[in-house]
């Protein structure tokens, strides 16, 4: 995996000459470049912050490849191996609990057809499959996707949902956890997810909220409650959000929001 190299420092004016918020279109004020050379602009209207001079799509794809990224991503959860079932139990139970409590009761008794975007190794999908659901996954990390597919015998494909060959309107639900904030265009990704859900289905996601750490080089968007709701409102006739707090392996509390968005109006 190639690291994202720090760019030459950009002035706010260079990176954001006429910044408009990608969520609400309001004026966004750029801040000085962070330690990676990224300029984070903030919208006073909806509170959304975003990187105004993001890395290229090719650089981002390269960064998320291989086992090195997997180890870094899982280290804050206290997990070091895909194969160690015991280490995953608490994390997997937490994710499945969210899905069982908020999503599954709204979509009928099942079994359901569920796609996870950004599934990495597929532990959540494995849990859902054991409940009797038909599952698929996709992740841009080709090595980890292939390893998860082999270990768990699941349909996990490398790439974005648009690249993986899934038929439109073929899922009851599309789920993703802490994925949208990593993307250059999370709103296009949300739209693509909506198109994969059949009428009556739902998109279920989690994103971090109100992040103050703009030096986080992995994140290109920093959602607020208002900006998340506005982004969902653009694409879905009805949705619900719920505030959430969880702790990483060091005990640090992290705020997030869960969102359940329905393709159809009531």
In tens, the pLDDT along 232-264 reads 999 999 999 999 987 765 677 789 999 999 998
Report CA Rg, the chain: 18
User: Which domains, ranges and CATH numbers included, belong to the chain?
Assistant: 70-262 (3.40.50.150)
Mean of the pLDDT values across residues 141-168? Answer: 95
For the question of whether the overall pTM of this predicted structure is more than 0.75, the answer is yes
Is the distance from CB of 113 to CB of 171 less than 8 angstroms? yes
Q: Please give the Cα distance from 33 to 38 (Å, whole number).
A: 5
Sign of CA dihedral 211, 212, 214, 215: negative
**Least confident segment among 44-53, 91-100, 210-219:** 210-219
């Amino acid at each position: 995996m190639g690291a994202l190299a720090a760019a030459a420092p950009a002035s706010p004016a260079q990176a954001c000459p006429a910044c408009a918020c990608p969520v609400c279109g309001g004026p966004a004020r750029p801040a000085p470049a962070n330690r990676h050379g990224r300029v984070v602009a903030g919208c006073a209207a909806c509170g959304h912050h975003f990187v105004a001079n993001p890395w290229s799509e090719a650089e981002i794809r390269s960064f998320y490849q291989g086992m090195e990224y997997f180890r870094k991503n899982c280290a804050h959860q206290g997990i070091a191996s895909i194969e160690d079932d015991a280490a995953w139990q608490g994390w997997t139970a937490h994710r499945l609990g969210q899905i069982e409590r908020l999503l599954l009761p709204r979509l009928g008794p099942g079994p359901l057809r569920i796609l996870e975007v950004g599934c990495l190794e597929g532990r959540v999908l494995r849990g859902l499959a054991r409940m009797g659901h038909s599952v698929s996954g996709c992740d841009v990390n080709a090595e980890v996707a292939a390893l998860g597919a082999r270990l768990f015998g699941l349909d996990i494909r490398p790439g974005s949902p648009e690249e993986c060959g899934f038929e439109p309107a073929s899922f009851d639900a599309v789920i993703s956890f802490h994925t949208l904030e990593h993307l250059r265009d999370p709103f296009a990704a949300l739209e693509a997810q909506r198109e994969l859900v059949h009428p009556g289905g739902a998109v279920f996601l989690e994103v971090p909220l109100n992040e103050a750490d703009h030096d986080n080089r992995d994140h290109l968007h920093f959602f607020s409650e208002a900006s998340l709701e506005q982004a969902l409102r653009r694409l879905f006739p009805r949705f619900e959000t719920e505030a959430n707090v969880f702790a990483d392996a060091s005990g640090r509390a992290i705020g997030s929001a869960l969102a359940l968005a329905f393709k159809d109006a009531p």
